[in-house]
Structure 1
């Protein structure tokens, strides 16, 4: 039988990359961790870690990889069991590990989560904000229960629970010459300064290809890894930025500009998705949260398109 203590020490050592680093987290002597890992290897009859001189970071053997997978499944099932016991008590409590991109921290998620917790006041959340490819990696590694993503960031171990296409818009400040236009083409933006995503963002390649096909060399004013900064510098009139419309935009950009539809054959809509880990049995509280989120996203579908073209948004 596998010792739960030994398994915990092994997992922490692998996560930290070394036994010494794990000892500082666990407040246990390195020799005690090594002894427990040795007992695991005796129990399973196979080495779990590659051992060679000069290696600074722990590396798993094939058996070690299998044990890590087992440890993750035990942790996942333990959390599911706790959640289902809580569910028997009427969903008074629950915990959700959620991942979202930066562009949702203002427009939609705070309001939705506030409405949700008014109905389920015992829920708690851990919300991680990263770009979409990182969120998918965290999801399939079971560090997240679900995540919202933009773009074609699919993974064979991720299931799409909800998806829609969002058209591209140009955010134009209130005093910009293009503010009064109902639609724009890429050629209309060519003579104006642009604020664009930098190379760390997945949209960088999409935008570069789009501008290259239009034979436009952009007059670049600013590059950044922040969609919030792109939107705000455009609202201040510093540059134009190409963005998807907000799902809900009820805050500080009112009166400072508007989203103008980019009606250009080269402008491809972006995928917006709600993803969960394929094959994972989600705890009932997470399933409840996912269903509520999906229902509200479906209700917002007509609203975001109308909001994008409304002046003052």
Structure 2
């Protein structure tokens, strides 16, 4: 085992159960990008890449059915599909501003209202937030055409933008949202965003946080859990850290070569800003998936990848600490 992973796995290994998704959901081109629980369901957000003629949608799986599968049932999971209406109009407004829509990246539910974060091209100054009411009876989410909130991207020290990064992590906080950008390892000026019900944004201090942050889940008063992931790709050099940075040992093997790394971290929102600390590393066999979705359930977590990973398809995992 590589040195970095050996140290990361020194704690007891979490217990993992692979969920057998129906074929329609396992299809890799769903490119899932977020998870959320809502009224007894686990909601799976498709990236909804309209520019590739993808369908704008969210799937729903009943939590009792997932519990039965975790307990050993082999029955195929029934599912619901919620069409997202009005996303094409939001895309047109974003594109007309020159930001260029690239897909849905995060989902949070406040009562019956779904909030979606939208990623834009690297050079755009803002990402965006849209919202709509989830109508279970009609199996759709109708977006509010008057609601489009610009989310300012943090700048790198040279004034440029982090490649292929957006506000992928969002979670309900009081009557609003807490949002984290994907890249948060600036020497200064890292920030989370707090969105109030009146659409006002507040910047909140955040200590440098290495690697990517791809989803976040509320787990208590002012407490959250997030996915912290390093993807070892040729265009991801920005997310690499090297010795003497102590985080380098997590993403380099004994020869110094970079490798994928996945963990969960704990965050706490205080009057002085958002603090974070490591929570647990994923089991070794699940380190190489590109985890994009996280949802807490019964003392554990569901995790969902996009289309990248050794399975070659959408993969849903249930993880219990031990």
TM-score (norm 2): 0.21
Rg larger in structure: 1
Larger strand share, 1 or 2:
2
Larger helix share, 1 or 2:
1
